[in-house]
Amino acid sequence: MSIELTKGSTSAPQDNPTPNKKKSTVKDVLTVALILSLLGTWGYIIWDKNKTREIIQEKDSTISSTSAQRDELQKELADATIRFDVIKTSNAKKDSAITAKDKEIQNKQVRIRQLLSKINATQTELTEAKNLIADLNNDIEGYKKQIAVLEGKNTVLTEENKDLSHQRDKLKKDYDSSVEKIKDRENTINIGSTLHVSNFNIAGLNIKNNGSVKETSNAKKVDKLRVSFDLDENMITPSGMKELFIIITDPEGKVAAQADQGSGKFATREGEVKQYTQQLNINYTQNKRQTVSFDWKGSSKYSIGTYKIEVYNNGFKVGEAMRPLKKGGIFG
C-alpha cells in the first residue's frame, strides 16, 4: 500500500540564523566601536595634555627669558648712568662744560626707564630698550671725548679712566683685607656724588616804589641780583640736605661778602680757603633735577662791568656764569 505526501506535510529542518545570534553580532560590533572611540578619546586627551604642557613650558621659558633680559638691561642702564655721572663730576673739578648733549642723554635715560619699568614688557619693547642703551653708551663716549677736546686733556683723561677702573676692580677684590682700600673706595664714591649745575640764569632787578620788579642790565638801576640754576640728576648722591657755596665777584675782582647775609669762608678739595658770598642748604632728592633760585642785595650800588657767580659743592666748583651790567643811556 502506497503512502502519498501531501503539500501540508512537514519537511526536513533548514540552517537559518536565529534572532539571538543576530543580536549578539550587533552587540559585538558596538562594543568594538565603543572601545575604539574610548581609545581615540584617551589618545586625544593625552596628546592635548602634552601639548598644553609644552605651551606652558614655552610660556614659562619665555617669561623667564624676558625677565632675565630686562634685569640685564636694567644693570646695563645703571652702569651707563653711573659712568655718565662720574664723567660730569670729573669735568666739574675745573669748570662746568655744559653742552646740549646733556638733555639728549637724559631724555634717552627717561625712555629706557619707562620701557624697563613695564612688568609685562614685550620683546619689541625690550629690543627698543637694548638699542637705546647702545645709543646711550655711544652718546656717553661722545660726551667724554667732547669734554676732553674742550679741556685739551684727552690723553690724560684716558689714562685716568684706566687707572680708576683698575683701582675700582682692585678695591672690590681687596675690600675685606685692607681698611685703607675701603677708605679710597669711599672717597671715590664721595667724589662721584658731587652735584652738577646747569641752566644758569642771572638777572639784575630794579624794584619800583610801588613794589613792582623789573629786569634791567643798567648798573645804576639794579637793586639786587636774582640767580637761578638747575641741580642735575645724580643717582649716586643720596637724598638729604646739601651745602652749596655761592661766590659773587664784582667787576674789580672783589668777592661780595656781608656777614649779616651769611657770608663766610670754606675750603676746597685742593685745600684752598675761599671767601663765599652766601651759603645755601638744599634738600636734594636723589636722581631728580631741581631748580635753585636766590636773590642777593649788595651793601652798595652795583658797578658797571661783569659780575661772576661761582657755585661750589663738596669742595669742587660745579658751575660758573657771568652777568654784565652796563652804563645807562642819556637819561639812565
CATH class of segment(s) 197-325: mainly beta
| Residue written as grid cell 652798595 | 300
CB distance 176 to 170 below 8 Å? no
Average pLDDT on 182-188 reads: 58
The residue-averaged pLDDT of 133-154 equals 72
pLDDT tens column, 216-250: 999 999 999 999 999 999 888 899 999 999 999 99
What are the structural domain ranges in the chain? 58-152, 197-325
- pLDDT band (50, 70, 90) for residue 150: low
Cα(269)–Cα(25) distance, integer angstroms? 106
Helix, strand and coil in the chain, % to nearest 5: 50, 25, 30
pLDDT higher than threshold 80 for residue 22: no
pLDDT in tens, 48-97: 777 676 666 665 555 566 777 777 877 887 887 887 777 666 655 444 44
Tens of pLDDT, residue by residue over 161-172, are: 777 787 888 777
pLDDT tens digits for range 252-276: 999 988 887 789 999 998 999 999 9
CA 325 to CA 249: how far, in whole Å? 13
Q: How confident is the model at residue 304 (pLDDT cuts 50, 70, 90)?
A: very high
| pLDDT value at 26 more than 80 | no
Mean pLDDT for 10-15 is 50
pLDDT at 94: 45
Residue 138: pLDDT over 90:
no
Report d(CA 289, CA 19) in Å as an integer.
Answer: 98
Q: Which residue has the higher pLDDT, 208 or 169?
A: 208
Whether the per-residue pLDDT at 144 is higher than 90: the answer is no
Side-chain half-sphere exposure of 249, counting CA atoms within 13 A: 13
Percent of the chain with pLDDT over 70: 74
Which of 101, 166, 89 lies closest to 138, judged by CA?
A: 101
Going by the DSSP 8-state scheme, the letter that residue 97 receives in this structure is: -
Distances (CA, A) of 269 to 85, 192, 312: 19, 13, 10
Contact 301, 268 (CB under 8 A): no
Strand partners for 9? none
The HSE-up count of residue 96 (CA atoms within 13 Å, CB side) is: 27
pLDDT at 129 over 70: yes
Mean pLDDT of the chain: 78
314 versus 24: which is more confidently predicted? 314
The pLDDT assigned to 244 comes to 94
pLDDT on residue 3: 44
Asked if residues 231 and 292 have their Cβ atoms less than 8 Å apart, the reply is yes
Cβ neighbour number for residue 150 with a 10 Å cutoff: 14
